[in-house]
Structure 1
Amino acid sequence: MRLVVLGGGESGVGTAILGKKKGYDVFVSDFGKIKENYREVLSNNGIAWEDEKHTEALIMNADVVMKSPGIPDKAPIVKKLKDATIPVISEIEFAAPFTEAITIGITGSNGKTTTTLLTYHLLKQANLNVGLAGNIGKSFAWQVAENKHDVYVLELSSFQLDGISTYKPHIAIITNISPDHLDRYNYDYNLYIDAKFRITMNQTASDYLIIDADDEAISNWLQKHTIKATTIPFSLTKQLDFGGSVDANNMNINLNQDIFTMPIHQLALEGKHNVKNAMAATTVAQLMKIRKETIRESLTNFQGAEHRLEKVLKIQNVQYINDSKATNVNATFFALDSMTTPTVWIVGGVDKGNDYDELMPLVREKVRGIICLGVDNKKLVEKFENVVEVLVETTSMNEAVKIANKIAEKGDTVLLSPACASFDLFENYEDRGRQFKQAVQNL
């Protein structure tokens, strides 16, 4: 069997290693440049590879192709493979049959990284032999090749779910759905929603789907489609007899009279959206029969995700917060919503078809000044220049932070929450977040 891997990054190299171990004839092809450390791994494992090109003769003879999530379906080589009816699958689909482990799959437009890390933390603190993979950490296929874990917590993007046909998680979470990556779905929101729900398409009655009952897109989809899994809702607005809800001070989760309750103020993570993330992760922990004492302790000592509402420093009584991972409007909505002081907001980058209208009430209420950080800020300027006292355009992080420092007054917050992708000025959102932290430290 010939396995061709498109993309020589983390998921590609992991898949190649697993494929080789399982006796496939493996070839890795990357249209960009493969990083030095990955080249070394491939060569050390005797795996053939090429970069900066796709040689069709070496690709079109594949029995199966694993496509890295970053490569769009409209890439010419992917179109050719599909026309030739050669199966093109994701790393998750390729690796899943080679492990007996239970998998917990987590998707959503926002909150999925925090929920994934929190779920992993809860299971790890309970001494389960648990791995963390998917869109985060070491690739799932690589860990399966090393036969590492009994349970995996997988953060799954819509692109990874596009490439599954038989994979099913035992427990799935959809944290929420809001418009994102629409450029990859022909600007059709419904196609993107359908992609998220692929997480449950192979689930059976003995599996679980945990969902946000307050989310309009999720509720609408469920009204029109039937699913087999046991659905467990959570909500901040409704009292549920089954699932997660809140009263005045507590978060409560009721699974058929197995009730977990905890004061919200004890949660390590702040903000309403994080109560939801905690409800989702706690539901998993209960399904996995973890002691309530352990769950409580883990929820109080969890350290959040880097680049997600991460407090950097307080300088002259101004708090600097790095929310570089907010690459869409909905994520930035959560960030602005959780601000309790006047805010200087750093925003901008590569706009994925954003509609900024939903931010307008929050900007009017909370934002003192806006610093646009991007190559093309026209849309932001037109939308907000008459709404805030100060709006400045910049193209460097150092400059943005220096200007923020000038605009901010004692007791304010400076918030980097870009609502956009980072590729115009930075390598990725992590690079953007690190540059922000460095610039703040240099003040």
Structure 2
Amino acid sequence: MSRKIAILGGGESGIGTAILAKKNGYEVFLSDKGKIREKYRDVLEHIEIDWEDEKHTESKIFDADVVMKSPGIPDTAPLVKKLREKGVPVISEIEFASWFSETPVIGITGSNGKTTVTSLIQHSLKEGGIDSGMGGNIGNSYAKLVAEEDHDWHVLEISSFQLDGIVDFRPKIAILTNITPDHLDRYDYKLENYIASKFRIVENQTREDFFIYDADDENISEWLKKNPVRSQKLPFSLEKKIENGAYMENENIVVNINNTKFTMPTSELALQGKHNAKNAMAAATVSQLLRIRKQTIRESMSNFQGVEHRLEKVLKINNVLYINDSKATNVNATFYALESMESETVWIIGGVDKGNVYDDLLPLVNEKVKAIICLGVDNKKIKASFGNIVEAIVETTSMKEAVQMAYRLAEKGDNVLLSPACASFDLFENYEDRGRQFKEAVRNL
């Protein structure tokens, strides 16, 4: 008697789950309320899976022993509520995948810096000769990784939505980069619900596991005071000296684990800026734990290429530098981007607002931004927040128009920065699509 799984959502995590479930003898039914993209439909046809799109056939879904819900579907969706009322377990793809893998996991979550830290760790492990596969919220889904590849370690970027659906998922090394208000629309607009969700990454850890986190982050520190964790803590900080963990001393990163010290001048890091010093600390802590040679850690931290759509320098035209930071989907990420600007900036911002509060950006905008280009369907809040402090605010409805407007407003020596602080779903498929359209529009100037 084969077990039945129903999969809600035909994106990356849905398809990965279908591949893994089929491989493990499940009877699979995949259902998507929207339209499934052609490349995913082809996979479903190829592995001969029963699927539907643009509807949910409830009788087939309720017949399942377990339901995997894609991270994009909120817990409040009527179908999900009904399933839970009927006692059908609803889990996330990372939970399902973890049932079929003994490979130890390095799991990275946080409001910002996740992708950079994940990519930096994968890069260091590769340079250090450790066999690892990277996936999760970046590249291949965890389920696809488990189904199709064999590695000694898995390096996973994990979102709070994926953590919401775990039961037994347990990373050997958990990393929490920071917590700033994001996605509050999915957490009843309560920051504490979002914080609790992020901390699920450590809930199944034991004393044999490790927890690496930002000790300067107030939300994290406050939570840890009230909610002790079982794993071994390895904090990192720019502000204080840490006994076991990472800190800053005389412009050097220092990672000290059980009296083994690694040091590296911040000037040699491939990625500059305070937030990147923290990202490097988190990654170097993992490398130290896995006993990668110090020289190799230094090399990997200094030759890392960075992440696409994250402060990515695109082109210089007429001595104006165009920077793609499309991955900045919340205010805090944009804060880091503006903080790192060293010349006058024309800033392209906007999209789907997740309950943004722009107050923290005001001093930076005042100091660095000469013009704002809104790129979204509804820009009222942006205009209300910054209308009085910049010379020009313009509204645009396409990337091409936004980039041409930036070209007109920028002068020699300026930066043009796409750092939207918002989700992209009003005008684009996702932040990658938004970033690629920006790069293409810049190249076509």
Which of the five TM-score ranges fits, normalised by the shorter chain? over 0.9
* Alignment equivalent of 2:107, drawn from 90, 105, 108: 105
Displacement of 1:288 in angstroms is 1.0
Structure 1, unmatched stretches of 5+, are none
Structure-1 separation of matches of 2:132 and 2:121:
10
Q: Is the 8 A contact 1:309 1:323 kept in 2?
A: yes
Displacement of 1:150 in angstroms is 1.5
| 3-state SS of 2:313 partner | strand
Q: What are the superposed Cα offsets for residues 304-332 of structure 1, whole Å, 9 maximum, x if unpaired?
A: 11000000011111111000010100000
Q: What are the superposed Cα offsets for residues 56-81 of structure 1, whole Å, 9 maximum, x if unpaired?
A: 11000111111111111122211111
AA of the residue aligned to 1:119: I
Q: Is the 8 A contact 1:7 1:30 kept in 2?
A: yes
In structure 2, the partner of 1:135 is 137
Q: Is the 8 A contact 1:100 1:150 kept in 2?
A: no
Q: What are the superposed Cα offsets for residues 227-251 of structure 1, whole Å, 9 maximum, x if unpaired?
A: 1011111011112222111122211
> Does 2:205 match 1:189?
no
In structure 1, the partner of 2:394 is 392
In structure 2, the partner of 1:3 is 5
In structure 2, the partner of 1:198 is 200
User: Is 180-189 or 44-53 further displaced after alignment?
Assistant: 44-53
Structure-2 separation of matches of 1:305 and 1:193:
26
Displacement of 1:147 in angstroms is 4.2
Structure 2, unmatched stretches of 5+, are none
AA of the residue aligned to 1:104: I
User: Is 152-161 or 380-389 further displaced after alignment?
Assistant: 380-389
> Does 2:117 match 1:115?
yes
In structure 2, the partner of 1:301 is 303
| 3-state SS of 2:347 partner | strand
* Alignment equivalent of 2:64, drawn from 48, 62, 65: 62
In structure 2, the partner of 1:52 is 54
Q: Is the 8 A contact 1:7 1:31 kept in 2?
A: yes
* Alignment equivalent of 1:176, drawn from 172, 175, 178: 178
Q: What are the superposed Cα offsets for residues 15-36 of structure 1, whole Å, 9 maximum, x if unpaired?
A: 1111111111111111111122
Identity %: 66
Give the superposed CA RMSD.
Answer: 0.9
In structure 2, the partner of 1:161 is 163
| 3-state SS of 1:98 partner | coil
Structure-1 separation of matches of 2:351 and 2:147:
38
Structure-1 separation of matches of 2:145 and 2:430:
24
AA of the residue aligned to 1:53: K
Runs of 4+ in 1 over 4 A off after TM superposition: none
AA of the residue aligned to 2:126: K
> Does 2:209 match 1:224?
no
Q: Is the 8 A contact 1:12 1:28 kept in 2?
A: yes
TM-score (norm 2): 0.98
In structure 2, the partner of 1:411 is 413
* Alignment equivalent of 2:151, drawn from 149, 152, 162: 149
**What is the number of equivalent residue pairs in this alignment?**
443
Structure-2 separation of matches of 1:94 and 1:114:
25
AA of the residue aligned to 1:189: L
Displacement of 1:46 in angstroms is 2.0
* Alignment equivalent of 1:82, drawn from 73, 81, 84: 84
